[in-house]
Structure 1
Amino acid sequence: MTDQAIDTLVDQATDIREGESLDLNSLVPYLEAQIPGVEGIPRVRQFPGGASNLTYLLQYPDKDLILRRPPFGTIAKSAHDMLREAKIIQALKPVYPYVPEIMAICEDHSVLGCDFYVMERLVGIIPRQDLPKGLNLSESDTRKLCLNVIDKLIDLHSIDPYTAGLSELGKGEGYVERQISGWSDRYRKAITDNASGFETVMAWLEEKQPKDIANRLIHNDFRFDNVVLNVDNPFEVIGVLDWEMATLGDPLMDLGNSLAYWVQADDDPQMQFMRRQPTHLKGMLSRQEVIEYYMDKTGFNVPCFDFYEIYGLFRLAVIIQQIYYRYHHGQTKDKRFQNFIHAANYLEQRCMKLIEKSVL
């Protein structure tokens, strides 16, 4: 494949957004001291995706690096923990080879005014809202890609954190209860005067919560736009990114989180508007097919998945509302967030419809 053809498929960084540039006067000498072979001033670009942590491409003549830092402006103390994310990636590398290599972790705020880390760049295709132009897959090929991506979540959930020496990544039993309590509390703290109440949804989740089905490594944000595909073989997943919220917990909760983003072809227009990954394509599994495939491969089984699906949608609504709260109160000026309130309110309606039909 020619370099030009590869460039059309590989995820591209763009110009840095206003107010989000990096201080190269401090950064350059730090990187030269920390990473062998790094010299000179890199060309810095920014990846446009994501509404949470910021991701930059540092281009040197002989290598590319990725820098991850928290957003600018006021943020919650417990959010955007760069050190934790980097250390999780380091711990996972021996047992889950799809994470990138960490090159440097910085706790010195005199460099960029925040914690940040630098890792290797995994060059490949990231399936965002739509597949990149030039990647034309048949219906059967699309299904093959879909299954391979789901398999990487299943692979993660098959790791025993205790034998892998990763038991300290989470708190253990009681995960479901902590999530329902925690996300409900976060939503109430992020309510704005134009936000839905979600009280009925939160009460239903509190009442219907099951016991943890297992305690496994979970990603907590597993989506198509967080995987990297091999340019020469787009069915092969070579990387899984964005481990900010990874922990130990119930794997079915993780699957529910993923399905909250899983917009299929027959969803209503509001849900289609929120689509961030190509799960609408012919050949992609439906949400129900994903659940059945996952249960068959893992051996986990529950008679009804409604709780996990509704939880995933509620949690997504909280994340969206938290981001909107920052915009609403002038803590960020990023115009991408001005309509997030409509998405959060819509998700309450979607939760309520599922609750009304639930057999739980």
Structure 2
Amino acid sequence: MSLTSNDTIIVRAGEELNKVNLAKYIQENIAEAPTGLLEIEQFSAGHSNLTYLLRIGSWEAVLRRPPIGPVAANAHNMEREYKILSSLHPIYPTAPKPFIFCQDPSIIGSLFFIMERRTGIVFDTKIPDGIVYNKEVGQKISELMVDKLVQLHSIDYTKTDLIHLAKPEGFMERQVLGWIKRYEHSKTEEVPGINVLMKWLTENIPISLEPTIIHYDYKLNNAMFSADFNKMIGLFDWEMTTVGDPLADLGAAMSYWIEADDSDLLKSALGTPPITIMEGFFTREQFIEKYATKSGRDVSNIHYYETFAYFKLAVICQQIYSRFVKGQTQDQRFGHFNQFVCKLIKYARNTAKGL
């Protein structure tokens, strides 16, 4: 969720909020909000939950709500994300401060929560206008990404409310079997090598490290930086956060961390590659080594977690392709996602050892 000053748009048709109801709710429930005219814009980024910029005079906040229409059970849980932020913000202030969770769907048509608005620099697939890039900038950003992941994994989850939100025991077993089941439910054709890969994933689940809080969607475009790149001032999209194996978090992060020497598949399979391909950014190996040094954790099994992360990406592509095959989406971009599935499975097998 990129919360820079220039990535908002006029609210998309069909995704409007009830401004009268919302303005009244804010005035009655958020002490920090001044009186005045409520203005609403929408953040253009993201394909999951809907995110809006709220403005009353100079006061700004961010509203998060589920997407329009039916959603999968247990998905887009606004109350869960609100509780995660409420628990983490005081001890991990990079997570934004939540103001309030609304349980009354009559206000805007769904449950929602409102949190503070932060402004800074968010990187994705290109350098933002006005930013002069050099390799030192890439190194500083890479270092901060490592440091903030290590810091998150150092928090004692037993002293937070997250102890009530997750069951870390058997985390990787549930993850592996759950994603295999997702693939089987969305299967449309035979994918070369996938059965061998799923067997390998099932039979080689490593002994998990001591469980920690994991963000589980830790990637560059979910982070916000100060103008001098000396601080990460925001980390967003906490909806997948749970308690589990910290190397699963690291592996997932590395599946999105593309480097210059990667194949064209990894650089472009999921869209335009992120700026991590530019000179100065850590390679995945350097990122992992820095994480190991700073966290003190044994990363000798990281190849397993990276393999699993690529398998997850393949399953996500398969789910999208299955929807296309079934006519549940008409978007022609998805008509060749089966090719991405095959290539990602091949890449995952290359990442695994012993296949």
TM-score (norm 1): 0.88
Query: What pairs with 1:1-360 in structure 2 (closer than 5 Å)?
Result: 10-36=5-31, 37-164=33-160, 166-192=162-188, 198-231=194-227, 233-273=228-268, 274=270, 275=272, 277-323=274-320, 325=322, 341-355=338-352, 358-359=353-354
Q: 1:64 to 1:84 in 2, by over 3 A?
A: same
Q: Confirm or deny: 8 A CA contact 1:261 1:276 kept in the other structure.
A: no
Conservation of the 8 A alpha-carbon contact between 1:14 and 1:48: yes
Cα distance in structure 2, aligned partners of 1:56 and 1:306: 38
d(CA) in 2 for partners of 1:54 and 1:95?
Answer: 26
* Cα displacement string for residues 31-72 of structure 1 (whole angstroms, at most 9, x for unaligned residues): 222222344443322222222212111222121111111112
How far apart are 1:120 and its partner, in Å?
0.7
RMSD across aligned positions (CA): 2.5
Q: Contact 1:194/1:341 (CA < 8 Å) preserved in 2?
A: no
- Higher mean alpha-carbon deviation, 65-74 vs 337-346, is at 337-346
Q: Could you tell me how far apart the structure 1 residues matched to 2:325 and 2:60 are?
A: 36
Q: Give the Cα separation in 2 of the matches to 1:142 and 1:165.
A: 35
Q: Could you tell me how far 1:331 is from its partner in structure 2?
A: 5.5
Contact 2:137/2:229, CA 8 A, preserved across alignment: no
Is the contact made by 1:219 and 1:246 (CA closer than 8 Å) also made in structure 2?
yes
Structure 1: gaps spanning 5 or more residues: 1-8
Number of residue-to-residue matches in the alignment: 349
Contact kept? 1:53, 1:68, Cα under 8 Å:
yes
Cα 1:225–1:337 shift into 2, 3 Å: farther
In structure 2, distance between residues paired with 1:143 and 1:109: 45
Is residue 314–residue 347 contact of structure 1 (8 Å, CA) maintained in 2? Answer: yes
Structure 1 residues 147 and 17: CA distance shift in structure 2, 3 A = same
* Contact 1:23–1:112 (CA under 8 A) maintained in structure 2: yes
* 2:212 partner amino acid: R
Q: Name the CA shift for 1:197/1:245 in 2 (closer, same or farther; >3 Å).
A: farther
Structure 2 SS opposite 1:17: coil
Q: What SS class does the counterpart of residue 100 from structure 2 fall into?
A: strand
Partner amino acid, structure 1, of 2:267: Q
CA deviation vs aligned residue, 1:277-335 (integer Å, no higher than 9, x gap): 32111011111111111111111114342111011112223334445555665666778
Superposed displacement of residue 227, structure 1: 0.8
Paired residue type of 1:24: K
Give the CA deviation at 1:195.
7.7
- CA displacement at 1:151 relative to structure 2: 0.7
Comparing 344-353 and 153-162, the one that deviates more: 344-353
SS of structure 1 residue aligned to 2:9? coil
The 8 Å contact of residues 7 and 45 in structure 2, kept in 1 or not, is answered as: no
User: Which residue number in structure 2 is paired with residue 3 of structure 1?
Assistant: none
Amino acid at match of 1:295: A
| Runs of 5+ consecutive residues of structure 2 not aligned to the other structure | none
